[in-house]
Structure 1
Amino acid sequence: MVISMRVNRELQGELVARAGCGLPWETTLANLDRVAFPLLGALDPVGDAVFNHRQIPALLGELDRLPAERGGAWVAEVRALCEVALRRPHHYLLFLGD
């Protein structure tokens, strides 16, 4: 299962940016330690998750600590989307499961 990633202005509003790749959940976040990675570990391949400007710095911190074998192109995409979401108020980073 692949989770898509995007930034919206407002929760149900305009699409501002979209990741070119998806997040391959099985090879990256499945069985991730939820205590060490509470935000990434809470992502669900069939559910949706939303991060606001106050949560994004913590998410970036988790990406910094993520083991290399769980990384990939999706990490750079998430970082770029975080930058977009942090630039303006009322922008949200969304992870959308299947």
Structure 2
Amino acid sequence: MAAAFADLDPADFPMLRAPTPYGDAVFNQRKLPLLPAELDRLPAACGGDWVVQARELCQVVERGLHLYLWFLGD
């Protein structure tokens, strides 16, 4: 799946290009609304259960105050 993400066009997927396997990515409430739209356009090779989980986490952050969505690399 990592190879499929490497092929994503940064112009079409600026938010999903932010997380890397070894680094962290943080989405604040200003950036977060862009993420679900990108999830909708993901190629099938990049999909999986994580997409449903990411959508649920986006909703939690959008409903709260002063919350962030963090993706942690190893």
Q: Does the TM-score normalized on the shorter chain lie above 0.5?
A: yes
Structure 2: segments with no counterpart, 5+ residues: none
On the 8 A contact 1:40/1:62 being kept in 2, the answer is yes
Percent identity at matched positions? 54
1:90 and 2:66 are equivalent in the alignment? yes
Cα distance, 1:35 vs. partner?
1.6
Q: CA RMSD in A?
A: 1.5
Q: Which stretches of structure 1, 4 residues or more, deviate above 6 A after TM superposition?
A: none
More helix by share: 2
Task: Indicate which of 30, 43, 48 corresponds to 1:72.
Answer: 48
Structure 1 residue 55 and structure 2 residue 31: aligned? yes
Aligned length: 74
SS at match of 2:30: coil
TM-score (normalised: structure 2): 0.88
What secondary structure, in the 3-state scheme, does the structure 1 residue paired with 2:10 have?
Answer: coil
5+ residue gaps, structure 1: 1-24
| 1:27 shift after superposition | 5.4
